[in-house]
């Protein structure tokens, strides 16, 4: 299995090199040269498997340059006692959709499903690449991918809209041979998400707030990756760059697994086909569902749920991607994104891997803020995806109505997906059992959930988020996870804020 770039089809690299580098030199994203297939017999064989064992089977299909022992080491260490209540939990909301709870990991968000295993994949990848480079006598040529051994360090840069940052910090904390630096929008994450990041422990971690939004953070990180001057300065210090964002294939691959796992569990209850609804901003989580479908998982419609930053909804329905619009800070901040990076992978695959078209469209997006795909491609997208969005008012109403009617407490991102799912059923009449990706514990967004539930308590306006959490606990019976409660007494380690044009300088200061 080789990997190519969405912007240069002549690129052909191993999975180890794709994971170690994170982003292709041409600015494109790595994509497998083919999508492996799973059969009905495979799905039957998966029945009864532990989550780590299923991950092993799926990883083997994509990481063919890894040994079985290397993959087993990664998945067995990643998916263990660091997760509570098992790895994931499936919970049917009365006789309606199934909530796929992906937030039982150490940071209480779905990003743990990938970012607990990514450090292992990156360490193994770096060792492989370094070994291959040394054997060829070409370590300098492949230095951009070498990280472990040889005296080199990997600097992992992460732009976050809230959840990725903490999950990446936790995953790479004190991992030998690595440093990690996270950028988050100063006013674009919840108070709990911010507290999780700025109190992060570890000797190799750095966290910076940015005056701007997530797109500003993401664009700055991408610019650093393609800046020859910065890479040269880092090389002089024996430091190479990589990414833990979902632009890295090592982030996306683990997300495929949980959709297959969910289907296998549901198939034992007589369900032969499912739809999947995903709240998404950067398009990575729903793209993983697309890969599962293309592998052969019996999936009908992929329901793409956006918040008020509904650029994906408009694109799916019109074929025009236009980021030239007001950026809205919402109660579902992890989806506050106007440039959906992983959409590039989908368009590459659906356009028959036309790298020239991809380079053209994403060049137009960067320079003009807009591109249009042909009708034939738009029709392909419409066959696969339904796009809908949910505004602020309706998001909060959904949190309340789902709790009042079903006693299920949703965070403000899962609520977006629930409402868009309901709209889809009303519009289409499609009653196929739908799996809703539940992406975060509701206590990560205490203030928004508290307001949504319309709690009438004395002096609640003066209550801090931990006091509000106690009130929610009393009302709902749902306990706040210890990992979040513990942040109350942790030392704040990071309090710097940078302008978006200063991030390269921030990187150099960090190292």
The 10s digit of each residue's pLDDT in 230-282 is 989 999 999 988 889 888 999 999 999 999 999 999 999 999 999 999 999 99
Summarize pLDDT for 404-444 with one digit per residue, the tens: 999 999 999 999 999 999 999 999 999 999 999 999 999 99
Using the predicted structure, report yes or no on whether residue 148 has a pLDDT greater than 50: no
Q: Cα(500)–Cα(510) distance, rounded to whole angstroms?
A: 16
Least reliable range by pLDDT among 14-28, 129-143, 447-461, 492-506: 129-143
Phi/psi at 303 (5° precision) = -100, 110
Report yes or no on whether pTM surpasses 0.85.
Answer: yes
* CB-based contacts of 173, cutoff 8 Å, min separation 6: 180, 200, 201, 202, 204, 205
List of residues 6+ apart from 267 with CB closer than 8 A: 43, 47
Instruction: Report pLDDT for 65.
Output: 97
Mean pLDDT, the chain, as a whole number? 93
C-alpha atoms less than 13 angstroms from C-alpha of 511 in its C-beta half-sphere: 26
pLDDT tens digits along 89-145: 999 998 899 999 999 999 999 999 999 999 999 999 988 987 765 444 432 323 334
Tell me how far apart the alpha carbons of residues 3 and 493 are, in angstroms, rounded to a whole number. 39
Radius of gyration of the chain (CA): 22
Active-site residue 152, yes or no? Answer: no
Q: Which one of 21, 44, 111, 380 is the catalytic residue?
A: 111
Residue 372 CA to residue 273 CA, distance in Å, equals: 32
Per-residue tokens: 494: 């990071």
pLDDT digits (tens, 9 = 90+) for 209-223: 999 999 999 999 989
């Amino acid at each position: 299995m080789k990997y190519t770039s969405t912007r240069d089809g002549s690129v052909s690299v191993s999975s180890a090199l794709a994971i170690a580098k994170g982003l292709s030199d041409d600015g494109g994203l790595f994509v497998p040269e083919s999508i492996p297939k799973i059969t009905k017999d495979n799905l039957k064989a998966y029945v009864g498997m532990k989550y780590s064992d299923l991950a092993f089977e799926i990883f083997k299909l994509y990481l063919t340059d890894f040994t079985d022992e290397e993959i087993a080491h990664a998945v067995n260490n990643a998916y263990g006692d660091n997760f509570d209540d098992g790895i994931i939990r499936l919970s049917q909301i009365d006789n309606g959709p199934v909530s796929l709870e992906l937030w039982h990991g150490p940071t209480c968000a779905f990003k743990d499903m990938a970012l607990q295993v990514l450090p292992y994949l990156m360490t193994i990848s770096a060792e492989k690449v370094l070994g291959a480079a040394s054997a060829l006598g070409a370590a300098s040529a492949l230095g951009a991918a070498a990280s472990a051994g040889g005296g080199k360090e990997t600097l992992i840069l992460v732009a976050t809209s809230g959840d990725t940052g903490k999950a990446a910090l936790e995953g790479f904390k004190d991992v030998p041979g690595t440093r990690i630096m996270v950028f988050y929008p100063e006013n674009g994450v919840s108070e709990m998400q911010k507290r999780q990041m700025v109190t992060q422990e570890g000797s190799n971690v750095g966290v910076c707030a940015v005056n701007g939004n997530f797109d500003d953070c993401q664009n700055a990180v991408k610019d650093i990756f393609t800046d020859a001057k910065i890479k040269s300065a880092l090389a002089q210090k024996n430091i190479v760059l990589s990414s833990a964002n979902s632009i890295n294939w090592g982030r996306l691959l683990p997300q495929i697994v949980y959709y297959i796992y969910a289907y296998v569990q549901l198939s034992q209850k007589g369900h032969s086909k499912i739809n999947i609804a995903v709240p998404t901003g950067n398009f990575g989580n729903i793209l993983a569902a697309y890969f599962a479908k293309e592998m052969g998982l019996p999936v009908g419609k992929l329901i793409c749920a956006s918040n008020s930053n509904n650029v994906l909804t408009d694109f799916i329905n019109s074929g025009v991607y236009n980021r030239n619009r007001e950026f809205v800070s919402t109660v579902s901040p992890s989806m506050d994104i106007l440039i959906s990076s992983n959409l590039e992978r989908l368009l590459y695959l659906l356009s028959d891997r036309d790298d020239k078209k991809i380079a053209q469209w994403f060049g137009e997006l960067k320079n003009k803020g807009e591109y249009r795909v042909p009708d034939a491609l738009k029709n392909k997208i419409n066959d696969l995806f339904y796009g809908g969005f949910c505004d602020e008012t309706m998001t909060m109403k959904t949190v309340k109505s789902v709790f009042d009617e079903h006693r299920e407490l949703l965070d403000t991102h899962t609520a977006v997906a629930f409402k868009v799912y309901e709209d889809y059923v009303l519009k289409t009449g499609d009653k196929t059992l739908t799996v809703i990706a539940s992406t975060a514990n509701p206590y990560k967004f205490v203030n928004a959930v508290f307001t949504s539930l319309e709690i009438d308590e004395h002096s609640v306006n003066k209550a801090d988020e931990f006091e509000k959490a106690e009130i929610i606990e009393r009302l709902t019976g749902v306990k706040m996870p210890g990992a979040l409660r513990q942040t109350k007494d942790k030392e704040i380690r990071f309090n710097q804020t940078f302008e978006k044009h200063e991030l390269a300088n921030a990187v150099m200061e960090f190292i």
